[in-house]
Structure 1
Amino acid sequence: MKKLLSGLLAATMACSLAACGGSNSAPSGSNSSAPAADDGKVYELKLSTTQTDTSMIYAGLKAAADKVAEDTNGKVKVTIYPSSQLGAEEDMIDQALQGMGIAVLTDAGRLSSYVNDIGILNMAYFVDNYEDGCKVMETATFKGWDEELVKAGIRSLCYNYYDGARSFMGPKEYKTPADLNGVVVRTPGADPYSRSIEALGATPYNIAWSEVYNSIQTKAIDACEVQYTSAVSSKIFEVCNYVSKTEHINLFNIVICGEAWFSTLPAEYQQILKDDFFSCAYDSAQEVIAAQADLEKQLVDNGMTIVEVDLDAFKEAAKSAYEKLGWTDLREQMYQEAGL
């Protein structure tokens, strides 16, 4: 019955979204010797995220955890730990690889350390919106990267959580790449991020998101690039005056765990875990998309000015990042496969 319901759910979604990341079907290499679902054991998974417990994605993760508990009759217990309570994201990925019952909300940029080319998903102006990103995830090439992650010891539960598009926020306007010359901007440390921000004209600087507010306030850094959801929840409007609306990276979030832990689950629970995270991620993404106008209004109501930028200039500047990472041809290949 569970598999039938999952199939009906996928069939009701738009074609490109239903297969977003292939999250409701396990890649080849799944453990065929998994224990039976009636073994009486309770499987516990601690899910670590940098998101606060007031964020929209946290609510989407909690919905998935509740659904998994319901569909496994309490036999799979997923507990969400917000605000990096368990530790830094990279450390949590390492623990998952060691076989611990740890899951992590991460992104393709960080996973590029294990499968390099998957990082293209987090490059500047790779896709324009959620739907296009989902089309990319449906390609044979992307599914191949997912299988490579399994071989590296990482199991994706879903690729389709979404937190919106990232823009530059700081004390000044940045209408063109030239305006970012010499501006130190906080960005995640993975190459797809840092190379993109560098190509757009800024100087990338990697610190934890939790340190950004104070770092801008004390002028240790000049600005940040962030999506509206996090800008509102972190009250970044208290230290930044302008949103330069570049929308340069559409932020897809990925839930992963260690393949060693995942393979201990009964096959039925493996499928439930993937199906439920996929469907709840889709629902969460729709809520985030629908909230964008209201989130922007909250930023404006709290004193920020929305700055329209020269998008053509930023998109042209971004091309050099693909060249530096050797992804110019890969970008075109992915567009052809996805029909973009």
Structure 2
Amino acid sequence: MTFHTLGKLVLAGTLASMMGSAAFAADYTLSINTALATSDPLYKGLEAFQENMKEASDGRLEVKLFPNSQLGPDEDVLEQARAGAPVAVIVDGGRLAVFQKELGVLGAPFLASGYDGIRKVVTSDLFEEWVKKLHDASGHQILSFNWWQGERHLLTNKEINGPADLDGIRMRTPGAPVWTGTIAAMGATPTPMPWGEVYSALSANVIDGAEAQFPAIVGAKLDEVITHITKTGHINLITGMVTSAQWFDSLPADLQKILRDEALKAGDVASYGTQDSLAGIEKELTDKGISIREIDVTPFKEATAKVYDDLGYGDLRDKLRAMAAE
């Protein structure tokens, strides 16, 4: 066999391999960004979504996962989606409020406790109206908003018993008004920064504290740089899977439905998994020497009541609390 003949055979084999790969390649790809680590129970829901989408779409739509904000901060990915990129991000309502005001109320203080109540809100007809408004106003499509990450607590290096103890504390928070307003009302000085910077900021005393849910605390190893967790549960962190409306609208109708159906199912997997993990995570943190205390949160509830009115959510507050309590 001559070198020329061998070369043609190799080339033919390579082309056949490429054609075979192309034949089985997905028609569409969605890249999902999350600030959370792969150890977070919510990430298990994303893995379920990835696998179930492959099956439900018969391989036509491939989901790729990017933990630890590999695609950039949430705000950057939201802008990529707005521009039509096939990306999605797990994000809270506060960051979406700049595009659709009502969504910010989901991050308002002491709105609901636990997952089941807030799930009623984000699967309601009222919420679906907000989904449509966001789609038309900003070019974002919510796939589902039932990705519950837990209740947020105060993380400090001193004991906290009430709002007065937060005076002068520089506390990391997301930059959305509902978050900064809540933390300011609780008595601390809100200090917005990306989640990925919190560990180093605490280590270098750039900030004095943070607030987060239990899975995120261990995911970011914040137990290494704090000594106290005060269980305030001031924000019940419900988040959503948000993608590009332009990209979503370009999909066949059946894939649009499959995406939303599977996102809702996977959100339940993530949320109930989170719920089941909390006691174990709390024990793990206690065993590491972290002081975890429950306190009377009434003073914090009273101090943050004005946040709803300050942001124009006064009318929604009672309606959504009643819906969550049904």
Q: TM-score, normalised by structure 1?
A: 0.85
Q: Counterpart of 2:176?
A: 190
Q: Counterpart of 1:264?
A: 250
Please say if 1:205 is aligned against 2:194.
no
Please say if 1:238 is aligned against 2:224.
yes
How far apart are the structure 2 equivalents of 1:326 and 1:127?
18
For structure 1, the residue ranges without an aligned partner over 5 or more in a row are: 1-39
How far apart are the structure 2 equivalents of 1:134 and 1:202?
29
Please say if 1:131 is aligned against 2:116.
yes
**Would the alpha carbon gap of residues 233 and 337 (structure 1) be closer, same or farther in structure 2, given more than 3 Å must change?**
closer
- Pairwise CA RMSD: 1.4
Q: Counterpart of 1:95?
A: 80
Structure 1 residue matching 2:193: 3-state secondary structure: coil
Q: Rg larger in 1 or in 2?
A: 2
Structure 2 residue matching 1:100: 3-state secondary structure: coil
How far 1:135 sits from its partner (Å)?
A: 1.8
Q: Counterpart of 1:331?
A: 317
Corresponding residue pairs, total: 301
Which of 51, 67, 71 does residue 86 from structure 1 map onto?
Answer: 71
Alignment of 1:1-340 (within 5 A): 42-152=27-137, 153-337=139-323, 340=326
How far 1:50 sits from its partner (Å)?
A: 1.0
| Matched letter for residue 168 of structure 1 | L
Structure richer in helix, relative to its length: 2
| Matched letter for residue 97 of structure 2 | S
1:255-307 superposed Cα distances (whole Å, 9 cap, x missing partner): 01111101111111111111111111101111110111111001111110112
Kept after mapping to 2: 8 A contact 1:138/1:338? no
1:234-264 superposed Cα distances (whole Å, 9 cap, x missing partner): 1111111111110111111100111110111
**Would the alpha carbon gap of residues 339 and 301 (structure 1) be closer, same or farther in structure 2, given more than 3 Å must change?**
closer
How far apart are the structure 2 equivalents of 1:117 and 1:209?
24
Counting aligned pairs with the same residue, the percent is 35
Q: TM-score, normalised by structure 2?
A: 0.89
How far apart are the structure 1 equivalents of 2:48 and 2:255?
17
**Would the alpha carbon gap of residues 338 and 295 (structure 1) be closer, same or farther in structure 2, given more than 3 Å must change?**
closer
Structure 2 residue matching 1:155: 3-state secondary structure: strand
**Would the alpha carbon gap of residues 63 and 139 (structure 1) be closer, same or farther in structure 2, given more than 3 Å must change?**
closer
Kept after mapping to 2: 8 A contact 1:139/1:338? no
How far apart are the structure 1 equivalents of 2:152 and 2:288?
19
